[in-house]
Structure 1
Amino acid sequence: VVQVYVRDKVATQVRPLQELKAFQRVTLSPGETATLTFTLPVEMFNFTRRDGKRIVEPGEFELQGGASSADIREVVNVLVTGETQELAGEWRMLSRCDITRA
């Protein structure tokens, strides 16, 4: 199982160091390799403020990929720009994963 965690590096509110945002199980035959490409909409970087509103703030985020939260194998930094965005109440956290087998 490959897991993707997000860390908000400059949040205005205290947040967990790692938040699981996506995962994908992939079965490989001996000697087989695969590349997993995750697509996470920026809305998945949201959190709920003290007033109950779910928002996405601009800032720097760290995406961590690995076998578990303690076994991170790849780190990518991304920058979210623009204004703070409030999410609609019916919004759902859905990511996508494409698997390319070698």
Structure 2
Amino acid sequence: MFHVPDHVDYNGNNPHLKTEKLTSIVFRKPELKEEFSKLQNLIDSGEFTKYVEPIRNITRNESTLLITAGSELQRMHIEDIIPEIKEAFSIERVKVIGIMKTMF
């Protein structure tokens, strides 16, 4: 028989879904440590903490960086620092996608 572990952080009373705190993208993407360091030197540390660290995901190829932001507001703030992102990551294009939050 299926045993439900003793957790209190179930999402929607579903024992198969668990909520975890989002950690900084800097820790989740250690292969980009050097680029994040350059970016932190190019922008205000408050902006870095508020808008770059909570990024959901970053994917990179030779010339393009795809950034998934947690909201449309975060996406707009990230788009304001695209020139600095291009410089820090040595890329030609940056595409930022904001995740739409449900209204219910």
Structure 1 length normalisation: TM-score? 0.26
More RCO (CA 8 Å, sep 6+): 1
Between structure 1 and structure 2, the one with the greater Rg is: 2
Q: Which has the higher strand share?
A: 1
Structure 2 length normalisation: TM-score? 0.26
Q: Which has the higher helix share?
A: 2
